[in-house]
A and B are shown apart, each in its own frame.
Chain A
């Protein structure tokens, strides 16, 4: 083997060994790398959940026919709903909604069975609590779906209530499904940025960076040595979130593990580059923290994790192209839920690689040329 390549690899070996040792020797660090991921993984799985369960509702059955009773029983049987009261009139329902005792009401009109028998659409009125539009629309769509499945089971040709478009890939509209895969990238993102961000600043503060710079290590070697632990830690954390999502919350995984890993790896490299650049610019660790916070919140906001990107003003949409988070979330969701392959998401790699291609060399250059 080529002598300079041998030396390069040896240098990398010593650097990575040192970086990993100094990271994992600290018992506090070991806890810090594992506990938040587990806690956040579960927290987000449970808390970042727009779905509703056991929604209390009231019923007014004006029809009092067997079909109506059957339909209502079907609704009550769904895990989403729990019947709170049976009322005589609409007035009573609205009192209950005002008092916050129920989140909605279902009113079956008198001509329900007659219309069904004539093959006409039989409207069922659904009253929802408009003070919480999110829950209101959820309740509406759940009732619609239950009604649809009921009429299908009964073999009616025409449906009693109009059906809205069925949501793809998340048939139950479980928001957990779209959220957890995004967190594969998101949770690792936070710690990778911190690890990379603090690594050089910390060495500068402790004076060890000077010691490193006077050794025959080249900036490229130092850069790779510095980038390795954050990338490894990031992948490891993503794997933990993956296990939580897949086996605890039982979100089915449609894609290919290798594709997912590759996507996350490219993402980690681009964020590590960003973190290392910040670290080489900053004077001390305090400054790094400020830069990171200023940078990370917009990165998450612009990633499309919380709000759809096409709802943003156009100039913001353009800015999102510089945000590797945007593309990793898109790619991971598609791999995880749609089973997208490498070819399908290849375009997501381009902006992430572009960010890495700028930030990594920048960090390497800043090592030496930042004058203190």
Chain B
């Protein structure tokens, strides 16, 4: 029995200027009842549009769409009565407590008083929010907010649950807990779930996975079937001593026959149609690749890459690690390089809330240093203090020998900065933005002009130089931000969440760029909520609730945690659980004393 059945479903948006944008181009979808079905695909693939069509919040342009045998267009109310939808930004009332939020949603859905108590108890127990019913929703952590959102969505027992990227930016532990809840719901209540996600290991937990790109399904089927796509093409290789994973990965990615390469668990995983022995970077370093089993992500990346090539889209392997820059990598030990950034016992409080608590670290010249952690962990606060945008409550910060907040303004000329949100002037053209920021960093005349042309070329922005920056698609904006930050060739580059909201292919290109910059000696500080991106960093620290959980290189940390092949998500979970059990021991010990 299928709960959602779509045939030739399409949705076309007509923009103000009369242009038509096809969000969904005739897709066939069948979601089985009582199972988990995942929608995966890059940002802008049409996942949210599809969800909203199923809910009847949007009307289709063409095709047929039925939910539990009901036509959505004809009977939207009947369809809405049997499903619950949790959008990407769920509307929790931050000034109400957990209990009040639940009550409110129960009232809105007309849940009767007698069924309500039992349902609440069940949901609170499942989400482990029972001890926090009196806490304001605004004061919950990102993961707890998502769990509360899920609980509010489930106040009545729907037949179908739609979740739009419920775990973006949530810490790995909460993400796992959230998925356990979903699996429990499917088991106990025979709930049907359609969930969109950017995390492949989450999609792998579903019975059925659909891969969506540019409004078309590339493939649908069981995770095993999707893995098959990359069967026999997956390898892993260990770089020589002292070579960062990203350098090898970047070089592999530059090869035409390589579909994808990522640093993972101390090795570089890659997918190639050809024979790995013929790959130049491996031959040059006399490395041997070892065949491995494909993961869902490998299948996904293969499908995506094939689709992009068919569409004649821009090749992902761009200038970043082209032959000219090959071999510039030198086996120097970065830790021996002088310290560029030093942070000692840094604290930042907002009222009685501690955003960053007693954090110390140092970054060496030419290092790629990652600030990792879920949303709300204190990364951005730390980052803003480093850039001199926010005063520290206490502690010492030194960037290139000075504190940017109090130093003479010339010191800032050594630094490039890319904010989390696109923050260049939207009404100004690409060229005007670059000219302004070039001027800000003291460039002028012929030199400024030459640098503008150089970064336009480097970031493939020549064709849009006269376009208003605000009208560009996301990927272009991200490249423009990078171009503006690098126009004066800074020694230190600060990047705040540069990879959130860009698709996996663009992320690969972005890291290639970072690798190339670091090989030229630029020091890079980067924040990200994608734990796996720690693999690209020389060293990183993980923050959670303002506290620094761990600091070191990926290898060191794996050894310290005695988890040799673990992913960064596993490591995060292990660290948090370890910290929690220690805290419990402490409190028990204290209890025993008193």
Contacts and interface: CB of A to CB of B under 8 A. Distances in A.
A372 B381 CA distance: 10
Interface in A189-216: 206-208, 210-216
A208 B413 contact: no
Interface of B is mostly: loop
B441 A211 contact: no
Given A207-B421, A207-B422, A211-B419, A14 B409 contact: no
A214 to B, nearest CB: 4
A13 interface: yes
Given A17-B436, A18-B436, A21-B432, A214 B427 contact: no
A18 B427 CA distance: 10
Contacts of A11: 439-440
A91 interface: no
Given A11-B439, A213-B389, A218-B409, A18 B425 contact: yes
B412 interface: yes
Contact of B389 (A13, A210, A217): A210
Interface string A153-186: 0000000000000000000000000000000000
Interface in B433-489: 435-437, 439-442, 444, 468
Nearest to B423: A207
A215 B441 contact: yes
Interface in B411-434: 412-413, 415, 417, 419-428, 432
A348 B16 CA distance: 52
Contacts of A369: 391
Nearest to A24: B427
Nearest to B389: A210
A208 B413 CA distance: 17
What secondary structure prevails in chain A residues at the interface with B? helix
Contacts of A215: 412, 437, 440-441
Contacts of A210: 384, 387, 389, 417, 419, 423
Contact of A14 (B387, B440, B468): B440
Interface in B207-246: none
B417 to A, nearest CB: 4
Interface in B35-53: none
Nearest to B425: A22
B310 interface: no
Given A216-B441, A372-B390, A211 B436 contact: no
Nearest to A18: B436
B20 to A, nearest CB: 25
A13 B427 contact: no
Interface of A: 7, 10-11, 13-14, 17-18, 21-22, 25-26, 206-208, 210-218, 368-369, 371-372
Interface of B: 384, 387-391, 404-405, 409-410, 412-413, 415, 417, 419-428, 432, 435-437, 439-442, 444, 468, 494
13 contacts: A10-B444, A17-B436, A18-B432, A21-B428, A21-B432, A206-B423, A206-B426, A208-B425, A210-B384, A211-B419, A214-B388, A368-B405, A369-B391
